[in-house]
Structure 1
Amino acid sequence: MLFQKKLIERVKNKCELDNHIASALMYGSFTKGEGDQYSDVEFYIFIKNHMNANFDSNTWIKELFPVELIFFNEYGTQVAIFSNLVRGEFHFLPEQKMGVIKDFKPTGVFPNPEKMFIYDSTNKLFPLLEYLNEDDPIRKTDENINFAFNSFVNYWIFGINVLKRGEYARSLEILNGVQKQILQLMRIQEDTVERWLNATKNLEKDLSKRSYEKFRAITANLNEKSIKQAYTNSIVLAESLHVDLSKEYTVGIEQQLLSKLHTLLID
């Protein structure tokens, strides 16, 4: 059995036996049937209100399996690196904050409640998970397409200007923003919008081979020629996406503006 599945079972059993725990859920790859030996495991664990102040989350995690490291990342998530270097992410919150689950809704498509359910003593968790399983967020909209095109232009001009200044590392970093907007447009084009926010996840399977090769052409190494070629290719790809998506959606940005970007590539 995969360690991650053992971890899920251990968390479930510990929640059932620990009087501090009000309810718990998991999210991520294993709830969608996509988990493997390389996957993280992520949990939300809600502590009974009157016990929250004295709850020791570090000790709770250490009692699951041996750990090498526990820390809070930049998002406030408690990350555990277990002794076999598998990652776990834990959100410990008081029971009174269970309503935060509804805030997950805009972030993606969620599996059925049984896949996310770990433990509940409140009878509140399942209705919240069912709410997540209702109608999926609509991604294929004029608003999303226009935001992606507008953001593409913004990132592109920013990135090419710092490139021409000689800041290659910074231009390469900004290229990530260019790529994200292009990927969201490509996902709309190919109707693979389930992974909207994390657009690179599972890209090798989600995109057609032809589109994947087009995306590969807008990636770069840390040298001026490679970065400049990626920005050049990204304009061509954006122009192609504009032509295609304009057939079905109302795209506010003019093709002429995308073509005008080429002028900034002239030394």
Structure 2
Amino acid sequence: MTVQLFPHDHLDHLIREATRRDPRITHALAYGSFTQGAADRFSDLEYFLYLPDPTRLDVPAWVGGVLRDSPFRIRHFFVNDFGTPNFVLDGLLRPELHAETPDRLADLAGWPAAHADPTRMSVKDTDGRLAGALRRLGTRAQPDPAAEAQGILDRLLGWLVFGANVLARGERIRAHELLAWELGGAALERYARTTGPLDRLEIHYAEAWAWTAELAAALGLHVPPDLAHDLGRGLRR
């Protein structure tokens, strides 16, 4: 069941209608948790707007026009580290809008296919190219968690070693950041034991390694014995 999120739904409607009315925009799509049915009241709204000459679209002015007769007010505007315009509205609601040329529709072929919903993502499509790209994205084979488990563990071990070395070097803030894995459900309680003050990072890294070893054993995954020995010796609780 789709959860209705006001004011997110209201803002999404305004942006979609504005893109459809703007003759400069040939294609537009929404993406992220809002199109996946996984959004909550803290989620952002994210869009790609495609037009032949993106320099003709003054994004701050365009968004200001979209919101002119609405209950939303722009409280802050900034361009993020990736060059994307971002806005902060009342209630800390944050829309993000990319402006690209239509040839960048080809980039969709490299997007993650999991949870892609072409129907909810498509906002405007003047020639069918967006529909084709989203259709191909939606029909791509979904990842098999069982088949990917070993690869995920291998990458996790790499990050754990990276963080342990950073911690040993004395870069405690960077080491703290490297513990920030995204988890949900019951795993959050265990995750809480891997985080805490900077002066206890040795304990948290030891807990992170212990948890990783337990998960690997439970799933029948392979941890190189020499690596397990070195991590166990270097990360003692």
TM-score, with normalisation over the residues of structure 2? Answer: 0.83
Deviations 1:173-211 (A, max 9, x none): 2333xxx4xxxxxxxxxxxxxxxxxx43xx13xxxx3x4
Q: Between the two proteins, what is the percent identity of the paired residues? A: 22
Q: From the superposition, tell whether residues 27 and 229 of structure 1 become closer, same or farther in structure 2 (CA, over 3 Å).
A: same
Instruction: Answer yes or no: is the 8 Å Cα contact 2:166–2:172 preserved in 1.
Output: yes
Q: Which residue of 2 aligns with 1:239?
A: 213
* Candidates 201, 204, 215, aligned match of 2:191: 215
Q: Secondary structure at the match of 1:81?
A: strand
Normalising by the residue count of structure 1, what TM-score does the alignment of the two structures yield? 0.74
Residues 7 and 64, structure 1, Cα contact 8 Å, conserved in 2: no
Where do 1:122-161 residues align within 5 Å? 122-140=127-145, 144-161=148-165
Are the aligned partners of 1:239 and 1:259 in contact in 2 as well (CA < 8 Å)?
no
Aligned: 1:71 with 2:78: yes
The gaps in structure 1 that reach 5 residues or longer are 181-198
Superposed, which structure 2 residues align to 1:46-195 within 5 Å? Answer: 46-47=50-51, 49=52, 51-65=53-67, 66-104=73-111, 107-140=112-145, 144-176=148-180, 180=181
Unaligned runs of 5+ in 2: 68-72
1:26 partnered with 2:15: no
> Which residue is 1:258 aligned to?
228
Paired residues, number: 228
Q: 1:229 aligns with which of 198, 203, 207?
A: 203
The structure-2 alpha-carbon separation of the partners of 1:213 and 1:94, relative to structure 1 and needing over 3 Å to count, comes to: same
**Is the 8 Å Cα contact of residues 206 and 235 (structure 2) preserved in structure 1?**
yes
Deviation at residue 35 of structure 1 after TM alignment: 2.6
- The alpha carbon displacement at 1:70 in A equals 2.2
